[in-house]
Amino acid sequence: MAKIPGPPSFDGLKRRMAKHRAENPTAKRDHFVRQTYCLGLIDARAKAREWFDEYPKAAYWTEVESWRQLDGDRIEFTMRRLPSAD
């Protein structure tokens, strides 16, 4: 009787994937600049307005990427934009 081979080893593939991920972190992949803030509601709105005034949406793709309301009317939010306008 012939022996049936087992499944191939994925060790080499796992090593290559780990190396690639270590050399190319997520933040470098999409080229956006991000900044996270935790401010009161009024200050959060003012900070977001600063970003939109300084980096117009049409040129920098500026946006509020994520936000959540915390206790005490504090807002944690992340602003995102391209590093430069072309």
Mean pLDDT by 10 residues, the chain (86 residues): 70 79 67 95 97 95 95 95 86
CATH among 1.10.3470, 2.60.120, 3.30.30, 3.10.50 for 32-86: 3.30.30
Q: Output the pLDDT for position 26.
A: 59
Q: Are 39 and 78 spatial neighbours (Cβ–Cβ below 8 Å)?
A: no
Rounded distance between C-alpha atoms, residue 69 and residue 75, angstroms: 5
Ordered by start, the domain boundaries in the chain are: 32-86
Q: Which of 63, 61, 62, 65 is nearest to 76 (CA)?
A: 65
Rounded distance between C-alpha atoms, residue 76 and residue 86, angstroms: 30
Does this model's pTM top 0.85? My answer is no
Rounded distance between C-alpha atoms, residue 29 and residue 78, angstroms: 18
Q: Output the pLDDT for position 4.
A: 74
